[in-house]
Structure 1
């Protein structure tokens, strides 16, 4: 069963108190994701079950510097955005970045098709948009995976196909590097073609961790139990108790 584990309960879960982490756990909690949406991310990624770890949740006054401080160097991540368009319609969208975010100030360029594993997605109007492969008439169109710089939040594609501005309050989407090349210029959010600004109501970033094998989980719990026992014995020696 998939569970959402609040950050304060992580140690208890790993220790086997109150239940252990299982496939599809969302560690650190989430406002935007539930078990069903997590399962859909697993299906879209196609790499089996995994746990998600909440490494960043948007707070009032945050900027791109706060995003990078929390999300950089975390390996593959999912970014979730709750946005509202000019018509007042709300959408839950996001992207999968197979590489770590950073502030290096440059593109993650994926020249080979096997490198083009990032994708964008829309939960509200269910759709997934993958990097355009080199078999297209313009082989380089899909190679710009993500952009990394201090002055911008998460940014996918050269359109940009999905970008969060420095103040983390506005998003834009102009399809170019992801999805059907014939849809260039459309928004992955509401399919509009005007490149309209979207207000960001919520943003979360999750790193990915594999689900431990049962044997590994048992060994981890046993090891933590041994450490706890040693700690108790040392405490008794210091107090002179049996």
Structure 2
């Protein structure tokens, strides 16, 4: 696949900037956008990994493997200083040994990559396209790389977790093949990763009807007391 040839260029990348603790990549507005794209209702986002200086793909896999569905968020920048917040949703658990996770049916093609800065989402190419296998490669799972989506790769993180690139192929409009989801340029421009976090997610439980009714009565009573009724 094309990303296997491009990845050799990542050997000369610079080191990851220090990131101690949470860097605040998610806020309520961004969470709401991710929930909207996911289409599964309100979610709890739990941070399971935040890259620090010297972190590697082994640290990423130690934190994310076997944890179920995850969001990856990357704050990236180019040499001119322009910055973007991009990422991807993986409905399957990560693994350091599985290789490609293939999705032959549309029902399995539920992963997506996105650019939060531009509010754009790119979903796996469906089987109805003239080349049904174009959206087949959902993620690549190996110990020597970070999260990798699509065979372009549509979003690629290197082993040092300090460099990303995007070469659109398995996600989005097939007419945009070769474009970057980061800055929409053609080719595989390298971007520095300024911050990288992983999140698991779980549905926010809804209150049963009696509990909702009781909460409403309690709020009504509180308002009456405040008004002196």
TM-score by length of 2: 0.80
Q: Indicate whether 1:145 and 2:141 are aligned.
A: no
Contact 1:156–1:162 (CA under 8 A) maintained in structure 2:
yes
Deviation at 1:85, TM superposition (A): 1.6
- Using the alignment, how far apart are the partners of 2:28 and 2:40 within structure 1? 17
What secondary structure does 1:141 align onto? helix
Deviation at 1:86, TM superposition (A): 3.0
Q: Indicate whether 1:71 and 2:64 are aligned.
A: yes
Deviation at 1:87, TM superposition (A): 2.8
Q: Indicate whether 1:62 and 2:45 are aligned.
A: no
| 4+ residue segments displaced more than 2 Å | 212-215
Partner of 2:26: 33
Contact 1:105–1:150 (CA under 8 A) maintained in structure 2:
no
1:97 to 84, 90, 94: 90
- Using the alignment, how far apart are the partners of 2:180 and 2:81 within structure 1? 16
Partner of 2:149: 156
Deviation at 1:31, TM superposition (A): 1.2
Deviation at 1:194, TM superposition (A): 2.3
Q: Indicate whether 1:106 and 2:80 are aligned.
A: no
Partner of 2:161: 168
Partner of 2:16: none
- Using the alignment, how far apart are the partners of 1:87 and 1:125 within structure 2? 18
TM-score by length of 1: 0.76
Deviation at 1:88, TM superposition (A): 1.9
RMSD between aligned residues: 1.4
What pairs up with 1:127-206 in 2 under 5 angstroms? 127-206=120-199
Post-superposition Cα deviations, 1:185-226, rounded to whole Å, max 9, x if no partner, equal: 0000000112111000000100011212335xx9xxxxxxxx
Q: Runs of 5+ in structure 2 lacking a partner?
A: 1-20, 212-229
CA pair 80-199 structure 1, distance change in 2 beyond 3 A: same
Partner of 1:7: none
1:50 to 43, 50, 61: 43
1:213 to 185, 190, 206: 206
- Using the alignment, how far apart are the partners of 2:24 and 2:206 within structure 1? 28
Between Structure 1 and Structure 2, how many residues are aligned? Answer: 189
Which structure's relative contact order is higher, taking Cα pairs within 8 Å and 6+ residues apart? 2
